[in-house]
Amino acid sequence: MPWMRSAVSGIRALCSSMLDVFFPVPQLDGERRLLEAPFCERCGHPYWGQIQGRFRCSNCGGRACHYVAARAQYLNRGVVRETIHAFKYRREYWLRRTLGEWVVEGFERHYGAERFDAIVPVPLHPRRLGWRGFNQAEELAKALSRRSGLPVIRALRRLKDTAAQVAMGRRERRSNVRGAFGLAGSGTYRDTRILLVDDVLTTGSTIDECARQLRRAGAMSVHAITVARG
């Protein structure tokens, strides 16, 4: 039926133009801003101004935390944000190379002097993985593994398909991810120095919850690296 075909192609065109509005194809040569000091020594929260030496932000200062440090290559804005969105929501799989290079650069810049034993990607819920076809964090972990020679271990699994956290505050994010992760197997990570990998870090709630699970399984330390810091 011709009318049905034209209706379907009309809907496709509409969906594609909506994608272009919300998640435009990024101009990769656009300006990117590095995450540079001063930032919180724990969560990497950036500051502007004259702050010297090591310090913790008000959120990290008086709170127990399960990871040692979280760092990113860039601030999550402009072309960096667009590239991550296009990778995840437009499923532009070819962007894994660019994002992989960026996370490797961040790793070398922030953790050049650190030693790790394994790379662990933040897992996706199977439902979301089924839709996207790949786990963006795992693609980044593979790029880091190729550069560093460290093994990628799928140590964690996502138990809850948590609501999108974009519009949530710090406290909501923390309760949203509480119990959202578990260990993927019965493995122990005793005396293992783990590098956790994700695409974006905003408040650190996801990283902290993942680190909590890994520490429970015996990990000696957990550091995190992401492409971007919100």
Closer of 57 and 220 to Zn ion (Cβ):
57
Amino acid at 169: G
Point out which residues bind Zn ion (CB under 5 A): 40, 42-43, 45, 57, 60
Q: Are 222 and 65 in contact (CB under 8 A)?
A: no
**Least distance (Å) between residue 6 CB and Zn ion:** 54
Closer of 135 and 205 to Zn ion (Cβ):
205
**Least distance (Å) between residue 33 CB and Zn ion:** 19
Q: What is the DSSP letter of 66?
A: S
**Least distance (Å) between residue 42 CB and Zn ion:** 5
Q: Are 192 and 9 in contact (CB under 8 A)?
A: no
**Least distance (Å) between residue 150 CB and Zn ion:** 26
Token pair in block for residue 32: 């990117």
Amino acid at 75: L
Closer of 43 and 150 to Zn ion (Cβ):
43
Closer of 73 and 192 to Zn ion (Cβ):
73
Q: How many angstroms separate the Cα of 25 from the Cα of each of 9, 21, 76, 81, 135?
A: 21, 9, 16, 11, 20
